[in-house]
């Protein structure tokens, strides 16, 4: 089988690594890929948003399965165009990926499906939104309706912040057309968890859970990032919670999508907050998470190719069951100093062992993201989030030690990483204190 992975991040390297272990794969292609996917197969110089170019390449290389990592090509209809060309695609249709590409669409589906979330209102008029936040008696989260590269969610602990967020989105258009509509949700509090399953629109596999450390600094200080680390399963996770989230939060959304004629197929990502009143959905995403994929792929015991093909074909219940190990994995993201602000790239990365340490005696993995091979065969930094170092162990603490030992053995100029990923003893569930004037 020939498999094409679309995307270029740590998530795509982790998917490529796990897929490459399947006995069914003879050739792995990545578009555009990174220095990590280049170790496992061939990188094609096609942007992940070049839908026509990706479909043409998949046809000319007789790809049997395309695995679409990021949300933007899904929202552009890449899965539909691949299906039109007779190529099995793992990822939802354009219509179904609205679960991520429109926050108001997602809230409407959840409301119809009876899935608990924070109270919310949808606004298309800045004036009406400003009136709402002027009198609302709770801190809020202002969300640009459309995709905004992970930046369209603004936590507002004061009314002034909420006013500014509404103005920035709706009048300043800092997120372009994505902010023409906003969803304003009540701020809720509690530990966050990302939950993932494979679905063919009807059936949903058992789920895996991981955390995402979004802020750049230890203890949750500083700016928001694309993710500074992850671990899973989280210390508060258990089989009952997994069964509840799958049955009461994820399956009802799939049923509602099918009822509306938009069956959802691919990876379903449910982002939740565990509040004192019970789990509440923060968002659904239409793909695997980054950096969560880097820790859940090592936990996937069953064959990913079988599951992905079955999701595309609508035959998940006939496929071998999806199985996850509960052995913890911890991922520490190494970034270029300065990220998420300005940073420099082009520095050699030292300490990589053939670019990738396989899971084995050392039980550590390194997944590349903003990293690129140079002409001499070495690997250079090429982005903000450069690598994810993953440790696997019998306990969270053991996995954590391995992840940090691996990070300590890698160096590049201005490298930075958080020191408190999976430090569950020290973990505060309240990254930000909420006050309302
Ligand atoms: N981990 C957050 C995301 O993938 O959107």
Tell me how many domains the chain contains. 2
Mutation choice for ligand 1 from 70, 152, 194, CB with most ligand atoms inside 8 A: 194
| 10 and 90 co-located in one domain | yes
- Distance from the alpha carbon of residue 150 to the mean position of ligand 1, in angstroms: 7
> What are residue 329's DSSP bridge partners?
232, 392
Domain assignment of residue 374, yes or no = no
Mutation choice for ligand 1 from 15, 70, 289, CB with most ligand atoms inside 8 A: 289
Task: State the burial class of residue 261 (Cβ atoms within 10 Å of its Cβ: 0-12, 13-18, 19+).
Answer: exposed
Q: The pTM is what? A: 0.94
Mutation choice for ligand 1 from 97, 212, 270, CB with most ligand atoms inside 8 A: 212
Domain assignment of residue 130, yes or no = yes
| 131 and 163 co-located in one domain | yes
- Distance from the alpha carbon of residue 286 to the mean position of ligand 1, in angstroms: 10
Taking the C-alpha atoms of residue 79 and residue 39, their distance in angstroms, rounded to an integer, is 26
- Distance from the alpha carbon of residue 128 to the mean position of ligand 1, in angstroms: 30
Closest ligand 1 atom to the C-alpha of 230? 1
| 128 and 167 co-located in one domain | yes
- Distance from the alpha carbon of residue 69 to the mean position of ligand 1, in angstroms: 11
Nearest CA to ligand 1 atom 4: 289
Indicate whether residue 292 lines ligand 1 (CB < 6 A). Answer: yes
> At which of 68, 98, 128 does a domain end?
98
Indicate whether residue 150 lines ligand 1 (CB < 6 A). Answer: yes
Range of the domain at 8: 2-98
- Distance from the alpha carbon of residue 319 to the mean position of ligand 1, in angstroms: 28
Indicate whether residue 212 lines ligand 1 (CB < 6 A). Answer: yes
Q: Which residues contact 24 (CB under 8 A, 6 or more apart)?
A: 1, 303, 305, 306
Q: The domain spanning residue 9 has which CATH number? A: 3.40.50.20
Domain assignment of residue 163, yes or no = yes
Q: The domain spanning residue 163 has which CATH number? A: 3.30.1490.20
Nearest CA to ligand 1 atom 2: 289
Indicate whether residue 53 lines ligand 1 (CB < 6 A). Answer: no
CA 213, distance to chain mean position in Å, is: 12
Domain assignment of residue 382, yes or no = no
| 128 and 163 co-located in one domain | yes
pLDDT on residue 17: 94
Mutation choice for ligand 1 from 192, 285, 294, 369, CB with most ligand atoms inside 8 A: 285
Domain assignment of residue 206, yes or no = no
Taking the C-alpha atoms of residue 419 and residue 225, their distance in angstroms, rounded to an integer, is 16
| 126 and 93 co-located in one domain | no
Residue 422 in tokens: 């999976």
Domain assignment of residue 355, yes or no = no
> At which of 142, 159, 186 does a domain end?
186
| 92 and 23 co-located in one domain | yes
| 8 and 76 co-located in one domain | yes
Domain assignment of residue 141, yes or no = yes
Please, what is the end-to-end C-alpha distance for the chain in angstroms?
A: 60
CA atoms within 13 A on the CB side of 16: 33
Closest ligand 1 atom to the C-alpha of 285? 5
Contact 72, 100 (CB under 8 A): no
- Distance from the alpha carbon of residue 273 to the mean position of ligand 1, in angstroms: 14
pLDDT on residue 362: 63
| 64 and 11 co-located in one domain | yes
- Distance from the alpha carbon of residue 290 to the mean position of ligand 1, in angstroms: 5
Indicate whether residue 200 lines ligand 1 (CB < 6 A). Answer: no
Domain assignment of residue 13, yes or no = yes
Indicate whether residue 290 lines ligand 1 (CB < 6 A). Answer: yes
Indicate whether residue 252 lines ligand 1 (CB < 6 A). Answer: no
| 82 and 154 co-located in one domain | no
Indicate whether residue 227 lines ligand 1 (CB < 6 A). Answer: yes
| 77 and 142 co-located in one domain | no
| 127 and 170 co-located in one domain | yes
> At which of 186, 202, 227 does a domain end?
186
Tell me how far apart the 2 most distant CA atoms of the chain are, in Å: 62
**Packed helices 126-135 and 159-166: angle between N→C axes, nearest 10 degrees:** 170
Q: What are the Cα distances from residue 328, in Å, to 237, 294, 392? A: 11, 12, 6
- Distance from the alpha carbon of residue 201 to the mean position of ligand 1, in angstroms: 21
The tens place of each residue's pLDDT in the chain, 437 residues long, gives 999 999 999 999 999 999 999 989 999 999 999 999 999 999 999 999 999 999 999 999 999 999 999 999 999 999 999 999 999 999 999 999 999 999 999 999 999 999 999 999 998 988 998 999 999 989 999 999 899 887 888 999 999 999 999 998 989 898 988 888 999 999 999 999 999 999 999 999 999 999 999 999 999 999 989 999 999 999 999 999 999 999 999 999 999 999 999 999 999 999 999 998 999 999 999 999 999 999 999 999 999 999 999 999 999 999 999 999 999 999 999 999 999 999 999 999 999 875 455 545 568 999 999 999 888 878 999 999 999 999 999 999 999 999 999 999 999 999 999 999 999 887 754 443 334 33
pLDDT on residue 170: 84
pLDDT on residue 357: 52
Indicate whether residue 363 lines ligand 1 (CB < 6 A). Answer: no
């Amino acid at each position: 089988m020939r498999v094409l992975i679309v995307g270029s991040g740590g998530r795509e390297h982790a998917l490529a690594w796990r897929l490459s272990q399947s006995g069914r794969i003879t050739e792995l292609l990545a578009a555009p890929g990174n220095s990590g996917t280049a170790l496992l197969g061939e990188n094609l110089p096609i942007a992940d948003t070049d839908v026509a170019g990706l479909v043409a390449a998949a046809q000319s290389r007789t790809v049997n399965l395309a695995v679409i990592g990021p949300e933007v090509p899904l929202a552009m209809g890449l899965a539909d165009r691949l299906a039109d060309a007779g190529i099995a695609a793992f990822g939802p249709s354009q219509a179904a990926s609205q679960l991520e590409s429109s926050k108001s669409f997602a809230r409407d589906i959840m409301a119809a499906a009876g899935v608990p979330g924070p109270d919310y209102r949808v606004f298309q008029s800045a004036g009406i939104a400003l009136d709402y936040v002027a009198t609302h008696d709770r801190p809020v989260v202002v969300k640009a309706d459309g995709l905004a590269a992970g930046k369209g969610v603004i936590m507002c602990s004061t009314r002034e912040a909420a006013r500014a967020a509404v103005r920035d989105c709706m009048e300043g258009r800092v997120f372009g057309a994505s902010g023409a509509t906003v969803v304003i949700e009540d701020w809720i509090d509690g530990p966050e968890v990302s939950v993932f399953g494979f679905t063919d629109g009807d059936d949903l596999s058992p789920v895996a859970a991981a955390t995402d450390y979004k802020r750049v600094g230890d203890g949750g200080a500083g700016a928001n990032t694309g993710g500074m680390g992850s671990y899973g399963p989280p210390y508060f996770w258990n089989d009952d919670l997994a069964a509840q989230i799958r049955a009461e939060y994820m399956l009802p959304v799939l049923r509602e999508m099918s009822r509306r004629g938009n069956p959802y197929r691919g990876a379903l990502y449910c982002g939740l907050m565990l509040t004192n009143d019970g789990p509440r959905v923060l968002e659904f995403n239409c793909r695997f998470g980054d950096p969560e994929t880097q820790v859940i792929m090592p936990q996937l015991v069953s064959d990913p190719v079988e599951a992905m093909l079955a999701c595309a074909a609508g035959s998940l219940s006939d496929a071998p069951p999806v199985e996850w190990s509960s052995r913890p994995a911890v991922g520490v993201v190494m970034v270029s100093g300065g990220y998420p602000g300005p940073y420099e790239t082009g520095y050699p990365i030292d300490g990589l062992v053939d670019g990738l340490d396989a899971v084995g005696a050392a039980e550590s993995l390194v997944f590349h993201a903003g990293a690129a091979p140079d002409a001499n065969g070495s690997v250079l930094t090429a982005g903000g989030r450069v690598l994810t170092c993953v440790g696997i162990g019998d306990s969270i603490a053991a996995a954590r030690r391995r992840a940090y030992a691996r990070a300590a053995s890698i160096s590049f100029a201005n490298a930075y990483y958080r020191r408190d990923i999976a430090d569950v003893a020290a973990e505060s569930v309240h990254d930000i204190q909420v006050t309302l004037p």
